[in-house]
Structure 1
């Protein structure tokens, strides 16, 4: 195996860390039936109702096909609803349903427990620094 190469591979390191953190949060969220990716969608829509697929994709920094795959179960289980908005163009926008708001509230308890457990293991100051650095990287490395 190319251990030396992989130890100098930024993308590999970030992806491994992201997968490990996702698995950590999945353990906490599993009882709610919501994945970390779905939780992010619910959270974004709670704060920004009426987003189009393109805007939701941009906010989450995911490909539209990936977003659609994650969004479909939320639509099917009535956590999220799509509606057409008429303002010059007919555009499909997404909102949380009442059921979705309740599920988000339930999942937020598990999410907060995961946050606290992560910060207990990693250190709250280090976790805050990590978040800041990751958000800075996201802003500095724009999609081309």
Structure 2
């Protein structure tokens, strides 16, 4: 924090425009929000958000998942994951049980209703994803995924 006696150098508006036009973080965030809105709109008729779809897809595995496994797949902190899971649990789409190997841990799995909902959502995801792939052109979506995965 600056004291009243210190002078603050003003940042020229041209710098603001430069950041607006070149900031990778800003552009990725804007694209992520646009994609999220698009999938949210498509899945609204069946009562899911894109975040819920991703979470449920992360639970679609042969054995129940730990919180850590799901948080890792979704690049999500445990607090945010817990909040998202509560909504799906209240709807009867996800079930959590105590982990017999770790009394502090929970094991997560889809319920039969959750699997049914995920099955209804998958064709919607495939359709919207194909539309976006087509808009990005040849190699666009695959190249974009490769570049994004490279960012650590």
Normalised by the size of structure 2, how large is the TM-score? Answer: 0.83
| Superposed displacement of residue 80, structure 1 | 0.4
Trace 1:1-144 onto structure 2 (pairs within 5 A): 2-47=16-61, 49-87=63-101, 89-90=102-103, 91-137=105-151, 141=152
Higher fraction of helix: 1
| Superposed displacement of residue 26, structure 1 | 1.3
| Superposed displacement of residue 6, structure 1 | 2.0
Instruction: Point out the structure with max Rg over C-alpha.
Output: 2
Structure 2, unpaired ranges of 5+: 1-12
Counterparts of 1:40 and 1:60, CA distance in 2: 8
Root mean square deviation of aligned Cα = 1.5
Normalised by the size of structure 1, how large is the TM-score? Answer: 0.87
- Following TM superposition, the consecutive aligned residue runs of length 4 or more in structure 1 with deviations greater than 2 angstroms are none
| Higher relative contact order, structure no. (Cα contacts within 8 Å, ≥ 6 residues apart) | 1
Number of positions where the alignment pairs a residue of Structure 1 with one of Structure 2: 137
